[in-house]
Amino acid sequence: MIGANRLRDRLSLLIVLTGCAVLGVTSSVQAQTIVLGPEGVARSEGLGRAFQTFSIFGGTPGVAAARFYSDFDLNNFQLPITHTFEPFGGGSLSGIAPYAELTLDYLTGNQTFPLTPNPNSPSNVKLSFDAWSVLAGGGFDVPLGGGFRLRPIVLAGYSHVGGDANFFGPNSALFRSLVGGILSDASLNSALVGGALELVYETQFPGDLNLKTQVRYNELAALVTGASSNALKQNSSFGVANASISFSGPTDWHVAANAIRWLGYAKGTWLPNTDPAVLGFNAFAEIGGGLQLIAPNVIRGVQGGTVRASAIVGPGVTGWLLSAALDF
């Protein structure tokens, strides 16, 4: 019996130490930690917010639908749809136009991390996440004069994040079972509510050159509606700021009678209250260009289409983007 107790105590200590190494991959200034005991997770902090970060990062309007290389390798697939309706013709809302947007997003991320070397414990763990979100917005497009427009927007949506952990080495099955529902076979569903404020400026220069700049700040609360573990049930709020500048001009190319324009742009994104230790970064810049087809009379409600390519760079992150989109 004494030998069995000693073996159990040694195993408990081994799990706690290796568990702390596992948490090194998601640790942050905001104390995202897991401590493992002989019967599973003994203590955890901040994991719910870490999970929600993946859906907020991917699903917020203005964030690049791109491939990111950082602590996690991320693939973000985003379909943003925006539409400004005809302005009101009279009354106190004269000149103000209703505005609507819908952002559909799917993000995947994975990375393999080394653990503390030990002959009786796994040597590596692969963490994988996938997240989808739907975020709708509605507001007004308010002309300010001189080419400036202000958009106050109310946002609401839903997100799901799933996570998995695969260990490699001795006792891998044991360690996977110990983090069940928290890192392996984990899920978190959240309602998203918040708002955004966007300032847009547009002007035209001689030679049919167009300039457009946008500055936007989003504030979203993620309210947990369901989770695979109580350790993930943590409501959080997130801020996402982005700004962009783009130029477009004419080319000699046409598709049928529809003109093709060139475009060049630069964008910046910053998550001010997100610890960079979660994703490996919390800010990046995007620089690129592309072609825009102006075809307002081909499909009802569609103004044309755009293809673009860009490079992404920031502290702790690089990436690239190739995309095609319809302009509404």
Q: Please answer whether residues 129 and 110 qualify as being in contact, where contact means their C-beta atoms are separated by less than 8 angstroms.
A: yes
CATH of the domain at 30: 2.40.128.130
Give pLDDT, residue 152. Answer: 98
Structural domain of residue 61, as residue ranges? 2-327
**How much is the pTM?**
0.83
Return d(Cα 146, Cα 138) in angstroms, integer: 24
Reported as a pLDDT band with limits 50, 70 and 90, residue 46 is: low
- Asked whether the predicted pLDDT for residue 18 surpasses 70, the reply is no
Q: Is 263 left (phi over 0), alpha (psi -120 to 50) or beta?
A: beta
SS3 letters for 200-269?
Answer: EEEEEECCCEEEEEEEEEEEEEEEEEEECCHHHCCCEEEEEEEEEEEEEEEEEEEECCEEEEEEEEEEEE
Give the DSSP H or E segment for 56.
helix 47-59
Question: What percent of the chain lies above the pLDDT cut of 70?
Answer: 84
Report which of residues 304 and 33 the model is more confident about: 304
State how many domains the chain has. Answer: 1
Cβ contacts of residue 2 below 8 Å, gap of 6+? none
Token pair 């910046």 in the structure block, residue: 268
Could you tell me which residue, 225 or 183, shows the higher pLDDT? 225
Instruction: Please state, in angstroms and rounded to a whole number, the distance separating the CA atoms of residues 187 and 228.
Output: 5
Express each pLDDT in 193-244 by its tens digit.
Answer: 999 999 999 999 999 999 999 999 999 999 999 999 888 888 999 999 999 9
Burial class from Cβ neighbours inside 10 Å (0-12, 13-18, 19+) for residue 66 reads buried
Mean of per-residue pLDDT scores for the chain: 83
Angstrom CA distances, 61 to 2, 47, 197, 244, stand at 60, 24, 12, 12
How large a percentage of the chain has pLDDT more than 90?
Answer: 51
Choose among 132, 176, 172, 149: nearest CA to 40.
176
Residue listed under structure tokens 């200034």? 29
Residue 235 CA from chain centroid, whole number: 17
Nearest to 193 by CA among 170, 219, 172, 167: 219
Closest CA to 125 of 53, 25, 213, 49: 25
Average the pLDDT over 15-43 and give the result: 41
Q: Is the pLDDT of residue 282 over 90?
A: yes
Query: Is pLDDT at 303 greater than 90 in this prediction?
Result: no
Please state the rounded mean pLDDT for residues 307-321.
Answer: 94
- The pair of structure tokens assigned to 164 is 């998995």
The answer to whether 278 touches 53, Cβ cutoff 8 Å, is yes
